[in-house]
Amino acid sequence: MPDRIRTADPVADRALLTDVLSRNLSPDAGGRRFEWLYLENPDGPACAWVATEESTGRGLGVAAAFPRRLLVGESVRPGYVLGDFCIDQHHRTLGLALQLQRACLEQIVFTHHLIAYDFPSDRMMAIYRRMQVPPAGQMVRWAKPLRANRKIGKLVNSPALAGLLAAPFNALLKWKDFASSPRVGWTIVNHEGICREEFTHLAHSVGSRYGSCVERSAEYLNWRYLRHPLVHHELLAARRDGELQGYVVFSHTHEDARIVDLFGFSDTAMWTSLVARVVALLRDRGVVTLSIPALAPGPWTELLKGWGFHPREAAPIVVCAPGTVAASAENASRWFLMDGDRES
């Protein structure tokens, strides 16, 4: 058993934290990612807790929480997204995991009376259930096929033959998207450079009309997406008469792409124009599948169906609020969360 579970300082305990994270999460958990995620967040440095071995002082586990400014109703409230939870593979007992996560929640929710949310894995959800913290809702990954090459490639051994067989299906998919795309009304542009004050203005103009959400200020967007050390994000802006009305953030690697944020005023034609432009860009780059993880129920469900997306796997989300471990803020319909709202 560990000697103790204590609060860790991201600066003073950096070597200890990165050792545990690199061994149990990913080799990329240290280095530049650590500086960006733990120390450069415009909303403040990360909070972390570490479990250490009694005899050696060796790190056995880490839990972390990353500050987020939240728009809740008409107010801006400090909160946290939880993440980077890990236990050394040789000490993965439920007791240690419970102690570590309880220390995290006690500090954030019970001591400082702040809201915390999480996108837990199945293993992490088992810990929450033992703590009597139910899921607040589910994130569903919606997927849209842009090309048929991969599916047909599973049926034939020749990539060249797969390309030939997929060509008419690809043409049909492209035609269907073209036929359903809006023709007028919105100017969709690739946003170059940093996000400026107009993005902060948009965040507060839209506010929490879709539910409590992360404050998508210009400073936050620049840090979260444009300065991400491991993932290249692109941002398309929707403008009318030159004024920013909404935007989409996406990334892709090889044949798969993901929309991680879709935000702005409620306008079906604008959303459709943004997604149609993303689809056209990605199809030209040879991307096979585009995914949008979104909270269910949420404002996108019917639109996603109309855009040709299909629901795939679902994963829980957790919201912990002051007063009780899972207070009224747990209601998923009162939250607006997208894939980019994760810790990293």
- Give the model confidence (pLDDT) of 181-201 as tens digits: 666 679 999 999 999 999 999
Q: How confident is the model at residue 278 (pLDDT cuts 50, 70, 90)?
A: very high
If you average pLDDT over each of 2-16, 52-66, 203-217, which comes out highest? 203-217
The least confident of 5-19, 53-67, 84-98, 300-314 is 84-98
151 in the same domain as 291: yes
Same domain membership, residue 313 and residue 198: yes
Per-residue confidence band for 230, with pLDDT thresholds at 50, 70 and 90: very high
What pLDDT is stored for residue 38 in this prediction?
Answer: 98
Q: Give the per-residue pLDDT at 169.
A: 72
Shared-domain flag, residues 14 and 122: yes
Give the pLDDT confidence of 68-91 residue by residue, as tens digits.
999 998 899 999 999 999 999 877
- Max Cα-Cα span within the chain: 69
pLDDT of residue 175: 67
**pLDDT, tens only, 99-118:** 999 999 999 998 888 999 99
- Whether the pLDDT of residue 255 is over 50: the answer is yes
pLDDT of residue 254: 87
Q: What is the tally of structural domains in the chain?
A: 2
Which stretch of 111-115, 161-165, 223-227, 242-246 has the lowest confidence by average pLDDT? 161-165
Same domain membership, residue 129 and residue 144: no
Q: Which of 42, 124, 52 is nearest to 82 (CA)?
A: 124
Quote the CA–CA distance of 19 and 31 in Å, as a whole number: 11
Query: Does residue 233 sit in helix, strand or coil?
Result: coil
Mean pLDDT for 10-20 is: 96
Tokens 């459709």 sit at which residue?
272
pLDDT at 331 (0 to 100): 54
Q: pLDDT over 90 for what percent of the chain?
A: 70
Q: Which of 133, 158, 190 is the last residue of a domain?
A: 133
Dist. CA 182–CA 238, nearest whole Å: 13
Residues 96 and 145 in one domain: no
Instruction: Provide the pLDDT for residue 180.
Output: 65
Note the pLDDT of residue 324: 47
Last residue of a domain, one of 133, 159, 190: 133
Q: What is the DSSP string of 57-100?
A: --EEEEEEEEEEEEEETTEEEEEEEEEEEEE-GGG--HHHHHHH
Range 327-334 average pLDDT:
53
What's the whole-number mean pLDDT along residues 275-282?
95
Identify which of 344, 298, 334, 317 has the alpha carbon closest to the alpha carbon of residue 70.
Answer: 334
Contacts of 290 (CB under 8 A, 6+ apart): 143, 144, 146, 250, 257, 258, 259, 278, 279, 282, 309
Q: What is the pLDDT of residue 326?
A: 44
**Does residue 314 share a domain with residue 181?**
yes
pTM: 0.92
- Cα 70 to Cα 214: distance, rounded to the nearest angstrom: 4
Mean pLDDT of the chain: 89
Same domain flag for 13 and 123: yes
Residue 281 shares a structural domain with residue 200: yes
Range of the domain at 206: 140-318+327-341
198 shares its domain with 129: no
d(CA 90, CA 2): 12
Q: Using the predicted structure, report yes or no on whether residue 260 has a pLDDT greater than 90.
A: yes
pLDDT attached to residue 332: 55
Q: Are residues 216 and 278 in the same domain?
A: yes
CATH number for position 99? 3.40.630.30
